[in-house]
Structure 1
Amino acid sequence: MNTSLNLGGEAVGLGILAAGLIFLYGVWLGRRETGWRAAQGVLGAVVLGGVLPFFLIPFAPTLFSSDSRSVTSLFLLTTVNIVGVFFSFLPWLVAGNWLEILRREGPRA
């Protein structure tokens, strides 16, 4: 039974949704340029989350060749899963930050 959490496709879709929603909120407030920058930031976080696994590929032989019963191997696999989940939700964290910036600026008069 595979116990790892895989949010790959869902995270990309939800990140693109977050970018669209933050852009629409910026347009609704009359701050289209700020909304566009926010959407670009969220999409950048989606790309970063999608590229991250390629940076972890050099460590894959170490993860799979070690004894699965050792504490070091379990710690490594747990760390990789936690980092993966963090990067899955990174676009929503970036969108929340931009949402606060847009809310603070308020609607254009």
Structure 2
Amino acid sequence: MSTSFNFGGEVVGFGILAAGLIFLYGVWLGRRDTGWRAAQGVLGAVVLGGVLPFFLIQFVPALFSSDSRNLTSLLLLTIVNIVGVLVAFLPWLVAGNWLEILRREGPST
């Protein structure tokens, strides 16, 4: 059984979409500077989400064992996959926070 780790694809795709949407919302409200800071924050979450799994994977050497019948390996692999999906949505969480900030400030007059 071959297992591949693909943490980067989801994080980058969701993150760039979230950064673009939050920036466009800031421009639409007339708060381009706040929208730009929000987009930078979301892109920072993209970088964190893309790099974080590589730092965490070194602490789980059991994932690299080829014995797929070992319950511990399967449990750790499942946990890492769940964490990978949660990290993929980290940029959307940051974008939602900035969305609340932009909504609270309202349109510029």
Q: Look up the equivalent residue of 1:80 and give its one-letter code.
A: V
CA distance in 2, matches of 1:64, 1:92: 30
Cα deviation, 1:23-71, whole Å, max 9, x if unaligned, reads 1111111111111111011000100111023203423532122743233
What secondary structure sits across from 2:80 in the alignment? helix
Partner of 2:52: 52
Partner of 2:98: 98
Bigger mean CA deviation after superposition, 69-78 or 83-92: 69-78
Cα deviation, 1:63-109, whole Å, max 9, x if unaligned, reads 12274323322221111001100111111111111111111111012
Q: Taking structure 1 as the reference length, what is the TM-score of the superposition?
A: 0.83
Q: Shift of residue 4 of structure 1? A: 7.2
What secondary structure sits across from 2:30 in the alignment? coil
Cα deviation, 1:3-33, whole Å, max 9, x if unaligned, reads 8784632431221121111111111111111
- Unpaired runs of 5+ residues, structure 2, are none
Partner of 2:25: 25
Q: Look up the equivalent residue of 1:108 and give its one-letter code.
A: S
Partner of 2:78: 78
Partner of 2:61: 61
CA distance in 2, matches of 1:32, 1:44: 18
Asked if residue 35 in structure 1 is aligned to residue 67 in structure 2, the reply is no
Asked if residue 9 in structure 1 is aligned to residue 24 in structure 2, the reply is no
What secondary structure sits across from 2:68 in the alignment? coil
Q: Look up the equivalent residue of 2:16 and give its one-letter code.
A: I
8 A Cα contact 1:42 1:92, kept in partner: yes
Q: Taking structure 2 as the reference length, what is the TM-score of the superposition?
A: 0.83
- Unpaired runs of 5+ residues, structure 1, are none
8 A Cα contact 2:63 2:77, kept in partner: yes
CA distance in 2, matches of 1:2, 1:89: 25
